[in-house]
Every structure is written in C-alpha cells, then in structure tokens.
Amino acid sequence: MNNYKHTQRGTVIIVAMLIMFVIFLVLGIFVAHEFFITAPLLLLGVCLFGTLTIEIADGELRWRFGPGLIRKHVALADIATARVVRTNFLEGWGIHYSRFGWLYNVSGSDAVAVTLRNGKRFAIGTDEPEVLTAKLTTTKPPV
C-alpha cells in the first residue's frame, strides 16, 4: 500500500497569535493584569492549531492538528470520492462546518473534499491537494 504523510504549517495563524500574545502580555504588564489570562491561551492555540498533519497508512486517512490532541480518521474503504476544491475567504481556517461538510484547515484555500459511502462529507485543507487526491484514489483498498 502506498503511504503518505505531509504536515502543513499555518504560518499566518502562528504569526498572528504570537503577535497577539505579545500585545496581551504588554497590556497585562502596563494596563490590567486580566490580560495575562489571555496570553497563555494564545500560546496554547499556536501549539494546538499551528500545523495540520495528514497521513495515509494502515488502510486509513488520518489528520491531526498540532501534537494530535485534535485528530480524526476514516477507513480508506469508506471513501467514495475525493476531489480538489478551493475554499473561500468566509470558510477561513480552523475546524467548522462549510459547504463541503466539516472543514479542517490551517492555511490557504486549497483542500480535498471527501465524500464517504454513507453520504457524510468533509474537507481537509492542504498545500498539496493534487498529491493527496491522487494518493486517496490510488490507495483505496478494494471493497
């Protein structure tokens, strides 16, 4: 079976959250100590959502944010279709419902929309949509 693993970094998310971290840290020092509460949450956000790793192995499509506290997987045999799509500005980044079903994304507007045999749909953001789609369509085990 043809394995695949790729990690995409959410550079804009990381930089924005680190800038906000510094701002809240400075506000906490000079304005109000309540701002200190938000600063560690921003660092946690960078750790949890700074990267998205997609993997195809052991008959599964797996994806995880950051170190893997937030992760999902589906059996390749359950995938009916996979196609390259583009998300729009309003669909943004993160984890939320979109026109493709649930969207998991850390950067950019390229994604792979997946439809499962049971009709459920989701999309995974990637900077290698053609490569991931090709892997998904060539590594599916026979039904």
**What is the domain-level CATH number for residue 85?**
2.30.29.30
* Distance separating alpha carbons of residues 62 and 71, to the nearest angstrom: 7
Report the C-alpha gap between 38 and 47 in whole angstroms. Answer: 15
Answer whether residue 36 is part of any domain: no
Counted domains in the chain: 1
Distances in whole angstroms, Cα of residue 40 to Cα of each of 3, 51, 94, 120, 131: 37, 18, 19, 36, 36
Q: What is the pLDDT along the chain (143 residues), one digit of tens a residue?
A: 569 999 999 999 899 999 999 999 899 888 888 878 888 888 998 999 999 999 999 999 999 999 999 999 999 999 999 999 999 888 888 899 999 999 999 998 999 999 999 999 999 999 999 999 999 988 655 55
Strands 101-105 vs 121-125: parallel, antiparallel or unpaired: parallel
| pLDDT value for 141 | 54
The pLDDT assigned to 140 comes to 54
**In the Cβ-directed half-sphere of 115, how many Cα atoms lie within 13 Å?**
9
Residue 42 lies inside a defined structural domain of this protein = no
Residue bearing tokens 């995974």: 124
pLDDT of residue 37: 83
User: Is the residue at 14 inside a domain?
Assistant: no
125 domain residue, yes or no = yes
Q: For residues 130 and 111, give the distance between their C-alpha atoms in angstroms, rounded to a whole number.
A: 9
